[in-house]
């Protein structure tokens, strides 16, 4: 590619939501979502994290039949067993769509602890591609 030599009108996307083609399995609202072979599904450890489902979708017979809408960045309250005040700023990982941990292992990084929100609850600042 080369530098522009004239004005070029681009298409900009506003907001922090995105829509992805879904895999054959159901994706439920509130689930952490990952990509497998380009299709969105409830996250499995090691998947690239693309956000939290704000609108789920039912199971289908073929990949790409449905789409799932995700919130790509923001703050969310999630359960983390044993979370403590000393864990503020610690990285948060997901091992599936609803299991969150401070343990890296083969899990997927989703963000960091902002504050302890209650017993075994943390406010997490998340960002797709973190």
- pLDDT per position as a tens digit, 97-127: 999 999 999 999 999 999 999 999 999 999 9
Task: Tally Cβ neighbours within 10 Å of residue 10.
Answer: 4
Place of tokens 């929100």: 117
Residue % of the chain over a pLDDT of 70: 98
Place of tokens 């609202």: 29
How far apart (Å, rounded) are the C-alpha atoms in residues 44 and 106?
10
Extents of the domains making up the chain: 17-72, 74-127
HSE (side-chain half, CA atoms, 13 Å) at 100 = 29
């Amino acid at each position: 590619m080369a530098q522009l030599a004239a004005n070029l009108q681009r298409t900009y996307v506003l907001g922090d939501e995105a829509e992805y083609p879904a895999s054959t399995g159901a994706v439920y609202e509130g689930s952490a979502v990952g990509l497998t072979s380009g299709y969105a599904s409830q996250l499995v450890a090691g998947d690239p994290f693309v956000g939290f489902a704000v609108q789920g979708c039912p199971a289908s017979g073929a990949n790409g039949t449905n789409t799932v809408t995700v919130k790509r960045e923001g703050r969310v309250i999630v359960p983390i067993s044993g979370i403590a005040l000393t864990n503020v700023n610690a990285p948060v990982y997901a091992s599936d769509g609803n299991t969150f941990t401070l343990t890296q292992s083969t899990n997927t990084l989703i963000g960091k602890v902002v504050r302890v929100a209650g017993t075994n609850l943390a406010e997490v600042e998340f960002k797709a591609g973190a």
